[in-house]
Amino acid sequence: MIMAGVKKIGRLGLKLIRDERGSFDQLVWAIGAAVVVVAIILVLRVVAPDTVSNLWSAATSWIRSSFGF
């Protein structure tokens, strides 16, 4: 569910970059989605800090290996 939202935000971000004019609705949606994602991350860090740390480490390791960083 979260990954689908992240992918949708990424696609929306690319669409906004390609069409620099964009629309106010797209801007509000992108900012609102970013705020929701940050809020979820912060809540998870408070509720389950060890789990979030493990997930973060796994995600950053995967990104580094996938993109050759």
**What is the count of structural domains for the chain?**
1
Contacts of residue 63, defined as CB under 8 A and 6 or more positions apart, other chains included, come to 69
**Cα distance between residue 19 and residue 56, in whole Å:** 32
Q: What is the residue range of 55's domain?
A: 2-67
Mean pLDDT score across all residues of the chain: 84
**Looking at per-residue confidence, does 1 or 14 come out higher?**
14
Per-residue pLDDT band at 1 (split at 50, 70, 90):
low
CA distances for 19 relative to 6, 13, 14, 65, angstroms: 20, 10, 9, 32
**Is residue 19's pLDDT more than 70?**
no
**Is residue 33's pLDDT more than 90?**
yes
Q: What is the mean pLDDT of residues 38-52?
A: 88
Per-residue pLDDT band at 52 (split at 50, 70, 90):
confident
